[in-house]
Every structure is written in structure tokens, then in C-alpha cells.
Chain A
């Protein structure tokens, strides 16, 4: 908190000279948990465990990197679920694919935090990049451990609920291309 409060403190010092009475509310300085690495890794782990498919004969699993990005984006913002469902169904009807993803696109393109999390997990050996896909790496056991611990601890039930609802949504190539 002290680190976060530094620029505000400087601003407060400056304002003090102008006889203004600055009031610092620490709770307003705290960043959203959406930027926390542990939260992001938990969500990525839950999404990967739910949607990755077995690949090859080495017991590995894989998922399209774009699909994982879209999945975690919706899991973190469950109010987008109806929009993504409409988008998926709209595409099946072969029309209006330009209008449906508008709400999804907002913020999705600038979501670089997910790429950072995947890079981090790749560097740790949890994932291995394989073209446009992510494969389980030598430390992939972490994913299962996280899922088990979160489930047993009753944590992130909302996120797990969204994952279960997302399992009914069909992610087409159209939805995953061009990001």
C-alpha cells in the first residue's frame, strides 16, 4: 500500500501548498484483483483443466492459445456470457458476425495481462508453446493441484460456475481468428 500511495502522497504534498485539504482513501488506491497474478493463474489453470484436450501419446493436453485467452476473458467478466453465447449462436446462423463481438472486443484486445501470465507459466514449465496452441509442460502437475485445491477449498465458485456454463458454448474458428 505504501508503494501504491507514493504518487498520491506527492500530489497531496503539492496540494497542501495551495491550502487544499487532500483526503486520501486507501481503499480507492488498491488495484482490482483482476491484475493479481495469483488470481489470473488460478483462472487460467481452471480454464485449461476444463477445456484442454488430450494431445499425442505422451499424456499431454493442449488448447488453442486464442481460445484460452477468450475463455479467461469471459470467466473474469461473467456479464459477457450472454454476449458470447449470442455471438456463437449468431455465427451458426451465418449472419451479423460483425455486431455480436463488439462487447467482447471492448477491452479484449488490450488484455495484455493474460499474455504476461501465459509467458510466466510457460517460463515456469507449466505450458509449452506449440504453434498457435499451448501444451502442458513438465510442471503441468501444478494445474491439477491448483484446481484440486481450489475445488476442495470452495474458492472461486463463481468462476467455476461460468466455466461450466461456457462448456455449452461452441467456440468456432471465426470467433478465434483475427485477434
Chain B
């Protein structure tokens, strides 16, 4: 665990050099100063030094979120609107072992994409480095700031799956919304500053588990997410493979039943049950090996006939056979064209039927909404003469009940499914018919060439030779085509076998670790304690035991989300209790919480006097004061409130001066490192 030791902002304006320093200690402390003093600047300086601008939706290295006093111009004593020439801020953290790190980042006048690190180990040994604040902040082993900071804190790097291809990992900006509650945006909901645009899956839950140190639970969750993502990828891949395979087979004129419907295990079972060749044999009566063997035998026979077979010099059969074959093929082509025309017509009709069902389904769904919600309903129509309600049934009209419309919707959905299947079957028929016509066309061209060759030959012997040669040519081409199909089937089979192997190796997500249950319960117990201490209006000591956390770490009570209970001002109490409980429980169970919590302006979230009173009571309470983790609260208190808090030993810091930033008296401002070294030197003397 670490604590925030110092926040410092400095720079140079036209009026001269300026600076502001805030020294902090462990435990609870309230930084109280009037509005516009610069408290928010101090709070936001922490996020800027840590490179957290993405949580505010700002582009990398853009300090727009910081107040104008460090970017544009500021008031310095009697110099109003003094233009800022350069500025930077630093934060210093120290851990339990006495190690410290000082992080400095330029705001104006220098390159804000870098942070300057000053490390000091427990023995006082120092090291300085310059790191990239945002670019490859985690990935760059030597130059990334977050990579350094995670290592310095002893935090593990965790990969997080995303909606998009390529994973992500947990970043500081994913964790910060749990220990930095921003004045403007942090109080509206739990983790309201959590980043969603990185597309990380279940990142809010993962962030909580990370800070609680529930690494097994988090790994189980990540494994499950990875399994889900991989399952979706495999299903998509199965769908594409199926489409390609059935399309390819249809192009050869073979229709097979090969689907990618159902769950992953169903697809595995179905695809493992039979190979593509077996499917071809069973569904299309196509045995490629047998066909190849037949063709091979035919080719051998024709070759023998052509080279050494006997010739009948008086036989007139060859031209007759060649002519008959061309006629048969033309007839077949005509018949296939007619079939194709019919299938195309049916396909068009079925497509418009699908369109019509879709329209009717939309109309019925909207009508159901109209009937259940009453939107756009023509109610209480009365006769303009006798002012009696008119009944539509008198006009032969019926008003259907919502149940009837619902039943009709079910029927339409069922019809749609059937018609869509019919359309798919028709589409497959069209593709198969086109493929068959193309095949017949090719055969017809061969037959016509053969006929021309045979009729051009002189004498029966030459006619027989020409006929045999043409037949041999056609058989060889068929064999080549079959070999090509066989090769493609082999490729598909390899791809399917690999898919089955990948799908089988996909194991179920890891179970939630045992450590998770205990850690979650510790967090829930701390949350109950803080909710009561902060005075959440929906909770008292009797009902607090009903507060629980669901699997997403969302607080519930009696089956309702806690944020839906109580008054509007309870929202900020819930956010405060949640953040404080997380820090307290993480400390108790040795979690990964950094050990400090910044609450910026909790009193501004509700002007109600009772809200203020409740919060001050909490600050005087033992629950708030006894915590060992650091809580820094930036707010504005009245004199009597400060007095009351101090009487109860609650630390209230009231920084001096009219503003956090003031003109330096000396021209050269000593850096905190130098100042500390001087102090140590004095002590030694």
C-alpha cells in the first residue's frame, strides 16, 4: 500500500514564477478551503500525473481538464490575468517500506507526452527516468509509464478480452474510478468514470476483483470470457465453412446436408459423425473414389480401343451415336432450363412472401405495443349526436385482444422460419441447377465437336476412331474435374478436422476461486458498515444485513438495486461508501488497492443541510477515522464545522493564502527532491 505524500503545481507566468504545494499524511484528512481556491487543481493534478485523462474522455496528453490557471492565465497577487508561459505538476507517493516515487508531468511549455520519474528506494538510493505517459504506456517495457508504475506497485499485468479482435489489458484508468471520485462526474454512479470505449469485457467487475486481490476469481472470469469469445469465433467460422462447402458442392451439382446450427458441442457431434465424402455418398449418392475408378477403367478401355482395338469398316454406328448424344444433351439442357426457370420463379415468390411476412410481423408487433401501452389508441369515440360510446362491432369490425395478437405473432414467426427454410432450399436448387446446366453445356459442346469430327471423317473406320478419341477426351476431362473436386473436398475436410480439434480443446471457464467468496463477503461487510455510518436513508442497523453484492459487485437490497432505493442524495453516499469499503476491505485481505482514496467535493453533491450534517457526522465517526488507508477529501467547510471536527481529532488541513498557486518569493524554486535532501542534511547535522 502507498499513500499520497505531496501534490505540487508550479510554473512561470508573465508575472513571474508561481507554485503551490500540498503536503499530505496517512489516514483521513480533509483539505478545506474556500471555493475557487484551487482544490480541484490539486485533485486533478494527481490524475494528470498518473496519465488518467482518458477517464474524462479527453484525448491522450490533452490537459484540457485541468483548470485554466495552469493552461491559460491566472491571478497572482495584484497581477490579474497573467498569461501562463509554462507549467507542470508533480505527485509524490511513498510506500510502507519507505520507498518513494515522484511523478512530474508538464502541462504547458513542454512535451506533455512524457512523465519524469524520480525514484528513491528504502536505502535512499535515487534513480531518475523519463517515460511515455500514454503511448504504449503498458506495452513498452522500458518507456511506458504504466508498465513502470505497475511494477513499482507490485501489481500484476492482466489481459482482458475485448469486443473487438485483439485483446487488451487492465490499465490504471480502469482502476482509478474506484479510488478517485471526481467532483463533476464521479458521484453520479459507481465507477461512473470507468472507460467503456476500449471495449474491454466486464471491466467494471474485473477492476473490483483486481483491487480486492481476488486473482483466482478474476482469472476464472477472464477464462470464461475468453471461452465465450472463442466460442463465438468458432461458431462464425463453422458458419462460413458450411456456406463455402455447400456452395462448392452445389457448383458440382451435389447437394449435401451440412449445417452449422446448434451449440458448439452439437456441431462437434454432427461434424465428427461423418466425413464430407460420407455425406456425399449418403445425401447425393456420389462416391468420388468409385466414380474415379469407373472413369479410370473407361479411359483405359478407350485408349486400348483407340490404339489396338478392332475396327469394323462397314459399321455406320459412330455418326448415329454421336448425333444421338448431342440430341439427348440438348433435350436435357432444355429440361434443366425449364426447371431453373420454375425454381427462379418460386424463389422470387418465396422472397416476396418472406418480405410480406416480415411486414405483417412488424405490423403485429407494433399493434401489440399499441394495445399493451395504449400509444396511438383511438379510445372513447362517441356519437356526435347522442354522445354515446360507439361500438366498433356494430360496423362489423373487431378489436382483437392482446393475447390474440400475441398468438398471431407466434404463428407469423413460425411461418417466417418455414418460408425462410423453403427459400434457402430453393436457392440451393437454383445454384445446383445452374451448375448442372453449366456441366451439360460443357458436355454438349464436346458432343457437338465430336459430331463435327465424326461427320467430317471419311470412312467408317475413321469415324469410329474419331468417335473413340472424342469420348476419351470427354472422359479425361471428367476425370480431371473429379480429381479437382476430390482435392477441394480434402482441403475442406482438413479445415473441418482442425475446427473440430480446436472446438474440442476449448475447455470450460475456470470455476470461481474459493478466495473470491471470502473477499467478496469482506467487501460486502465493509460496505454495510460504511452505508450505515454515512447515513444512507434506505438502510439502518436492522436492515443493513440485507445488503448484498451480486456477481457484478452491484449492491442490492431485498432484490432491488441499492441505487434505486433511498433519496437522490443517497447516490453520493453510496458512491462514497462503496469506494471507502473497497479500500478498507482490500487492506484487510491484502488486496491490490493502492491505499489512497481521493473524494473531491462530496458536500457539493447535495445542497441539503442534512446531507452536510450526515457527512460531517461520518467524518467525526470512528469508522472514518480509524482507517489505515489514506482518505483525502477536498471540500469547503465552515469555521464551526472545522472546529467540531478538530475537537473529534479529525484532521482538517486549511492551506494558507488566498489561492493554491502564488508567486514565488525566490527566483529559483527548489525542487522537492532538493528540499528533502537539504532537510535530511540538516537533520544529520
A interface residues (Cβ-Cβ under 8 A, vs B): 1, 4, 25-42, 45, 76-79, 112-113, 116-117, 119-120, 123-126, 137-139, 142, 146, 149-150, 152-153, 155-159
Contacts and interface: CB of A to CB of B under 8 A. Distances in A.
B405 A36 contact: yes
A150 B369 CA distance: 11
A156 B398 contact: no
B524 to A, nearest CB: 41
Given A4-B404, A30-B411, A123-B390, A153 B376 contact: yes
Interface stretch (B78-86, B351-359, B475-483): B351-359
B408 A32 contact: yes
B400 interface: yes
Q: How large is the interface on B (under 10, 10 to 19, 20 to 34, 35 or more residues)?
A: 35 or more
B293 to A, nearest CB: 51
A156 B408 contact: no
A39 B402 CA distance: 12
Interface stretch (B151-159, B381-389, B526-534): B381-389
Contacts of B399: 36-38
A39 B367 contact: yes
B409 to A, nearest CB: 8
28 contacts: A26-B407, A27-B408, A32-B360, A33-B360, A33-B367, A33-B400, A34-B363, A37-B397, A38-B378, A39-B370, A42-B370, A79-B356, A112-B396, A123-B383, A123-B390, A124-B383, A125-B384, A137-B384, A139-B384, A142-B378, A149-B375, A149-B377, A155-B370, A155-B376, A156-B366, A158-B359, A158-B363, A159-B363
Given A78-B359, A124-B383, A156-B363, A116 B376 contact: no
B378 A150 contact: no
B371 interface: yes
B410 interface: yes
Contacts of A28: 411
Give the interface SS of chain B, mostly helix, strand, loop or mixed.
helix
Contacts of A123: 383, 390, 395
B561 to A, nearest CB: 27
Interface of B: 352, 355-356, 359-360, 362-364, 366-367, 369-371, 373, 375-378, 381-384, 390, 392, 395-401, 403-405, 407-408, 410-411, 414
A117 B401 CA distance: 18
Contacts of A26: 407
A contact face: mostly helix, strand, loop, or mixed:
helix
B407 A36 contact: no
Contact of B378 (A41, A125, A159): A41
Closest 9 CB pairs of A and B: A153-B375, A125-B384, A30-B407, A149-B376, A30-B408, A27-B411, A124-B381, A37-B397, A150-B376
B356 A77 contact: yes
A1 B390 contact: no
Contacts of A34: 360, 363
Contacts of A79: 352, 355-356, 359
Nearest to B371: A38
Nearest to A40: B397
B357 to A, nearest CB: 10
B376 A42 contact: yes
A26 B355 CA distance: 24
Nearest to B400: A36
A152 B373 CA distance: 13
A23 B397 CA distance: 29
A158 B359 CA distance: 7
A156 B367 CA distance: 8
